[in-house]
Amino acid sequence: MAISDKVVLKVRDLDVSYLDRRGRVRAVVDVSFDLHEGETLAFIGESGCGKSTLNLALMRLLPSTGRVDRGSVLYTNREGRTDDVLKLEKYALRQFLWGECAMVFQGALNSLNPVLRISDMIYDTADAHQMPRKVAEKRAFELFERVRLDPARVFKSYPHELSGGMRQRVLLATSLLLQPQVVIMDEPTTAVDILTQRSILDVLKEIRQELNFSTIFISHDLAVAAEIADRIATMYAGSIVEIGPVDDVFYHPRHAYTLSLLNAAPRLSTGREELDSIPGSPPDLINPPSGCKFHPRCSFVMDVCKAKVPELVEEAPGHQVACFASDQVVEAARKL
Amino acid sequence: MTANAQPQPATEEQRSPVSVRSRLWKLRKNYTVRVLAQALLTIWAVTTFTFFLIRLMPGNPLDVKIDQLQRTQNITYEEAASRASLLFGYDPNQPVGTQYLNYVGKLLHGDLGMSITSPGVTVSDEILTYLPWTLFSAGLGVLISFTLGMILGLAMAYWRGGVLDNALTVVASILYGVPDYIIPLLLIIVVGVQWGWFSPGQMRGGVDPTITPGFTPEYIGSILKLAILPVLTYVLASVGGWMLTMKSSTLATLGEDYINVAKARGLSEWRILTGYVGRNALLPLVTRLAISIGFIVGGSIVVEELFQYPGIGRNLLRAINARDYTTMQGMFIVITIAVVLSNVLADLLFGVLDPRVRLGDEDEA
Amino acid sequence: MIGFATVASPVGFLIGLLVGLIPLGFAVRYRQWRAGVLGYIACVLAGFGCGLIGGVPMMILATAVVISYAYVNKQDPFTSRAALEEVSFTETNREYVTRQMAALGNALRSTGRMLVRNKSGFLGFLGILFFVVVLTFGPLFIPLESQPQFSRRQPGATTLFAGPSAQFPLGLDWQGRSVLSQMVYGGQTLILTSILAGLFATIIAVVLGSMAGLLGGIIDQILSAISNFILTIPQTPLLLVLAGLIKLDNNVLLALLFAALNWPGLMRAIRAQVLSLRERDYIEAAIALDLGTWHIIYREVFPNMISYIAVNMIFSIRAAMYNLVLLVILGLVPLKEPDWGVMIFLGRQQGALFNPAASAMMMAPIAAIAIFQLCLILFTRSLEEIFNPRLRSGL
């Protein structure tokens, strides 16, 4: 798929932290990336690595204990106007949300208000964005059909009357109601069975082509990420440690953590039977380890890793990595 | 029991017995029908229970009355017995089964017998005189405390941990922890007698007897003025529970994903508050409403007694103290039916608010 | 049965002072100062408060617990805490008793910690403790005044009512008797009856709930129908009607009556718990192995439900107290002085409600009842924390 050079979302130096009883949890540290028009960027990493926090911060939906300490999120709309999302006024923010940037949350059952019909949800969204209800209804019917739902039945249903896969597709369809430029998908396929996951991914690929929006895709399922994404960003302890085109990252990983993730995931292509787990557990984000935060669990660890924080460096075209041992990692990956 | 529970559909569809059966079976699934059937069953159980309670207790009231009539009026046993059975509305010489059928038959016609202590007055008339006062004051109390508790609880949850939340939580915990009959006592002693904010002697009764009844401002004003203390008591006694329930259920709701999704959809804060937070947080309160109504009725006895409010609670107490068994029985049945019906209302309201409990209805359509 | 709470005696106090030296001495030897002091206090209180019959076993238990606890936890480099967990199959009876007693001591210690952690719960506990102490030991220092004291009439006053003064801190009632004395003697029956009702309700609920859950079928349906019925009828009017029909002059009977109205809530919860446990595989295995239903209830249901049961018992106690006071202040049960509720009822009859001089006399029982009820509610928060391991390990 052709990816244009136009950047719709430019995130720079973003820091997000939560206030905890024990202190400040630095959930997102110094994150910068660009999202291009029409592209799908997948974030991978263990749970608790800051993927979801990052995306909540992009939409300014952090819980009251969380706050953005630093950074900017520059969004360029279809008319070419650029705004910092973090500085939007209340009303402008509400228009930005869903209108420009929509989100598909994980856990489809809890994402729908149990006491409202799907139609009420559509109308509420339409009302909030000055879209006539008739227009919204027509568009919702189109989208429901597009995601292979029976529009007449689903539209008048309550959430509990739909199956898990149907709910997930309802969420997917409603996220596109206002033709947003960016759709953030937070693990949209984790809560459903493998067949539903397949059909959702198919639908997703299809409508992405037709409706042309950019996607930020969050997943800990590498196979799904590999299938859907144009670029991959690996996150560890709140930072992006590696970012690059999907094939580069998956076939020639340059960060020790990405390599560990790949080794921990089943891969059909190599036919390897045994899986390696990553030793140790994710770091404490209140008192993170010194230097590279992965070093206590890393098999390539050197002295420099403990002392200095590695910076993201472009080592191949469009492929940036923050690892002192990237050469050894490339070597090790080749042997697989 | 089943026939008693579902009389209407059975009579309607007598032409085709097969379809009656399947229809009844379908109706079992219907939420509204289930709620109503349960209520009818409870009412039947209560009336039966009362029947046997009054009749089969040691030293049963009828014998006591006959004995009393014999002694005080110096008449024969037969004469006393016939007079007493007239008062009580049943003949003790009949078999219990017949007595029971008579009793149920009379109940269905709204005949609760004659009052023992006020000769010539039917119990139904007595109840009709007193019940409106209780319905008015307790109903108003429930309405105000529910609304107030809902709003305050919502505010406490929204500004959780703030000064308002902490202060109101303490107040609500105290109001919730203290027995309701303590409140009118405190109102009279502390606010009335010690602080002198009102004269406890004047704030008694349901309406000033010197004002001629009618739709005049004075009359209605007097009713409202004298209702202040009972209503205030009901509000204070139950608002704490509402506040705490609303706070915790709102906190639970605020943590739900769909609230975040609603925010992400750019909905206005007002719409999120009413349609998403409020409506879901309200559900546990509606369940509590049923329990609360029973408690208010219990509390109303003391409240009405202390404020000399002419409601059914105070008169039930009067009937008990005077050993007026027919009135006692009638009032108890009516109070219970009122509570059961309020529960039905609360259940139906819950069905309206939460589509998940209405599953049966969808099958019908 | 009710009334043995007033056995606090100076002799018991002296015995307690002496016996307390035993655990204190042992604890000091094993360098467990705090346990020793607590054991001493426990012995003194047990001797003081419970008289000879209740006090002696209490003292023995306290002594045994403290000595064992101190012995097992003694600060000695060669034995460690692990001794508590290690079960040697060759242990003698004496070692077994020591280990059990020390475990009890440990449990008490951690319970104490939990108790202090929740502030409002601890406040409630202290409140309850205050009432218990005053009601148990107060009669030792304050004589009961049951006869009218006409000589206390103030010059020029029309009634004997009087507000608080230095001599009578809570004022005088309509017969010129000290309100403080009435207060100190007037709570025992009320509280003991309520506790009895709470116990009855809990026992009924546990037995019927386990029966309904385990046996199922028709028994389950009948019990559920009865509990539904009791939950629906308004209880206060029912109690009033009953009071009008039968003479409720026996406290045990009253407690049973309150219990009969109070078991359905807990019974339903236990039934649900038993049912959900039955679904689990290991219970089926236990049933298949014929381990006995009561074994299942004891091993599986109780540990899961103990927090709920304890909290519910407090609520039952509270409800019983509410109902009892209600019946008394409406004059529907035979009145026995001294009693807080009777003070309110008679005070009202004697016009104390509207007499400013009598406000103190009315406020004392009102406040006592209100505060005791409030403390019970607050205390449930600590109970939840003590029994609920999920809450305990959490924040």
Show Cβ contacts of residue C189 under 8 Å, excluding neighbours closer than 6 positions.
C2, C3, C251, C336, C339
Distance from CA of B341 to the nearest CA of A (A): 25
Confidence at residue C281, expressed as pLDDT on a 0 to 100 scale:
61
- Residue B282, judged by CB atoms within 10 A of its CB (0-12, 13-18, 19+), counts as buried
Which residues between 257 and 316 in chain B have a beta carbon less than 8 angstroms from any beta carbon of chain C? 294, 297-299, 301-302, 305-306, 313, 316
Residue C178, strand partner residues: C172
Residue C279 has pLDDT above 80, yes or no: no
Confidence at residue C197, expressed as pLDDT on a 0 to 100 scale:
93
Contact B42 C232 (CB under 8 A): yes
List the A101-104 sheet strands across, edge first. A101-104, A182-186, A214-218, A40-44, A231-236, A239-245, A319-321, A313-316
Given a contact cutoff of 8 angstroms between Cβ atoms, the answer to whether C383 and C307 are in contact is yes
Distance from CA of B84 to the nearest CA of C (A): 17
ipTM value greater than 0.90? no
Distance from CA of B174 to the nearest CA of A (A): 29
Residues of A in contact with B258 (CB under 8 A): 110-114
Gap between the Cα atoms of A30 and A52, Å rounded: 15
Residue C356 pLDDT level (bands cut at 50, 70, 90) = confident
- Point out the least confidently predicted range of A115-119, A240-244, B140-144, C36-40: C36-40
Confidence at residue A11, expressed as pLDDT on a 0 to 100 scale:
92
User: What is the average per-residue pLDDT within B133-143?
Assistant: 90
List the A66-76 sheet strands across, edge first. A24-36, A7-19, A66-76, A82-84
Confidence at residue C89, expressed as pLDDT on a 0 to 100 scale:
56
Confidence at residue C317, expressed as pLDDT on a 0 to 100 scale:
92
Residue C51 pLDDT level (bands cut at 50, 70, 90) = low
Gap between the Cα atoms of C271 and C274, Å rounded: 5
Confidence at residue C284, expressed as pLDDT on a 0 to 100 scale:
64
The neighbour count for residue C377, using CB atoms within 10 Å, is: 20
Kindly report the three-state secondary structure assignment for every residue of A13-42: EEEEEEECCCCEEEEEEEEEEEEECCCEEE
Residue C77 pLDDT level (bands cut at 50, 70, 90) = very low
Alpha helices in chain C (DSSP H): 10-19, 21-29, 33-72, 93-117, 119-141, 179-185, 188-215, 217-232, 235-245, 251-262, 264-279, 281-288, 293-296, 302-329, 340-349, 359-387, 389-393
Residue C178 pLDDT level (bands cut at 50, 70, 90) = confident
Instruction: Give the count of alpha carbons within 13 A of A190, CB side only.
Output: 15
Residues of B in contact with A112 (CB under 8 A): 258, 261
Q: Name the one residue in this structure whose structure tokens are 């008449």.
A: B75
Residue C246 has pLDDT above 50, yes or no: yes
Neighbours of A (≥3 Cβ pairs closer than 8 A)? B
Confidence at residue C41, expressed as pLDDT on a 0 to 100 scale:
80
Confidence at residue B110, expressed as pLDDT on a 0 to 100 scale:
79
- Point out the least confidently predicted range of B4-8, C77-81, C207-211, C325-329: B4-8
pLDDT in tens, B270-280: 999 988 998 89
Q: What tokens appear for A281 in the block? A: 């557990």
Gap between the Cα atoms of A284 and A318, Å rounded: 31
Best of B180, B181, B183 to substitute, by most chain C Cβ atoms within 10 angstroms, is B181
Quote the percentage of chain B above a pLDDT of 90: 14
Contact A124 B362 (CB under 8 A): no
Provide DSSP, B75-135.
--HHHHHHHHHHHHTS-TTS-HHHHHHHHHHHHHTT---B-SSSTT-BHHHHHHHHHHHHH
Confidence at residue A183, expressed as pLDDT on a 0 to 100 scale:
92
- Residue C154, judged by CB atoms within 10 A of its CB (0-12, 13-18, 19+), counts as middle
Q: Name the one residue in this structure whose structure tokens are 């309520």.
A: C194
Confidence at residue A118, expressed as pLDDT on a 0 to 100 scale:
92
Provide DSSP, C91-157.
--HHHHHHHHHHHHHHHHHHHHHHHHHSHHHHHHHHHHHHHHHHHHHHHHHS----S--GGGPPTT-
Residue A36, strand partner residues: A7
Q: Which amino acid is at A184?
A: I
Chain C residue with CA closest to B169: the answer is: C120
Gap between the Cα atoms of C386 and C67, Å rounded: 24
Contact B181 C329 (CB under 8 A): yes
Confidence at residue C5, expressed as pLDDT on a 0 to 100 scale:
44
Confidence at residue B76, expressed as pLDDT on a 0 to 100 scale:
77
- Which residue, among A41, A32, A106, has the nearest Cα to A70 in the 3D structure? A32
Quote the percentage of chain C above a pLDDT of 90: 10
Residue A19, strand partner residues: A24
Confidence at residue C290, expressed as pLDDT on a 0 to 100 scale:
64
Of residues A138 and B359, the one with the higher pLDDT is A138
- Helix (H) / strand (E) element for B309: namely none
Chain B residue with CA closest to A98: the answer is: B265
Confidence at residue C288, expressed as pLDDT on a 0 to 100 scale:
62
Residue B361 pLDDT level (bands cut at 50, 70, 90) = very low
CB pairs under 8 A between B and C: 130
Distance from CA of A62 to the nearest CA of B (A): 9
Confidence at residue C389, expressed as pLDDT on a 0 to 100 scale:
53
Q: What are phi and psi of C233, to 5 degrees?
A: -70, 140
Neighbours of C (≥3 Cβ pairs closer than 8 A)? B
User: What is the average per-residue pLDDT within B20-38?
Assistant: 73
The neighbour count for residue C276, using CB atoms within 10 Å, is: 13
pLDDT in tens, B88-119: 666 666 777 787 888 888 888 878 777 777 77
Confidence at residue B101, expressed as pLDDT on a 0 to 100 scale:
84
Gap between the Cα atoms of B57 and C244, Å rounded: 11
Q: Which of A103, A124, A158 sits opposite B275 (nearest CB)?
A: A124
Residue B6 has pLDDT above 50, yes or no: no
Confidence at residue B359, expressed as pLDDT on a 0 to 100 scale:
55
Confidence at residue A318, expressed as pLDDT on a 0 to 100 scale:
86
Q: What tokens appear for B84 in the block? A: 């007493």
Residue C274 has pLDDT above 50, yes or no: yes
Confidence at residue A138, expressed as pLDDT on a 0 to 100 scale:
93
- Which residue, among C233, C326, C319, has the nearest Cα to B291 in the 3D structure? C233
Q: Which amino acid is at A47?
A: S
Residue C83 has pLDDT above 70, yes or no: no
Confidence at residue C139, expressed as pLDDT on a 0 to 100 scale:
79
Given a contact cutoff of 8 angstroms between Cβ atoms, the answer to whether C177 and C148 are in contact is yes
- Helix (H) / strand (E) element for B8: namely helix B7-12
Neighbours of B (≥3 Cβ pairs closer than 8 A)? A, C
For the CA atoms of chain A, what is the radius of gyration? 20
- Point out the least confidently predicted range of A72-86, A134-148, C129-143, C255-269: C129-143
Gap between the Cα atoms of B30 and B359, Å rounded: 8
pLDDT in tens, B178-205: 888 889 888 888 888 888 788 777 777 7
Confidence at residue B1, expressed as pLDDT on a 0 to 100 scale:
36
- Point out the least confidently predicted range of A79-93, B304-318, C18-32, C337-351: C18-32
Contact B356 A160 (CB under 8 A): yes
pLDDT tens series, chain A, 336 aa: 445 678 899 999 999 998 887 788 888 989 999 999 889 999 988 877 888 889 889 888 888 888 899 899 999 988 888 889 888 888 899 989 998 999 888 766 688 888 899 999 999 999 999 899 999 999 999 999 888 889 989 999 998 888 888 888 898 889 889 889 999 988 887 767 788 788 888 888 888 888 888 999 988 788 888 888 899 999 988 899 999 998 888 888 889 888 888 887 766 555 555 566 777 777 888 888 888 888 888 888 888 888 888 888 888 888 999 988 888 888 888 776
Contact B280 A113 (CB under 8 A): yes
User: What is the average per-residue pLDDT within C353-364?
Assistant: 82
Confidence at residue C49, expressed as pLDDT on a 0 to 100 scale:
67
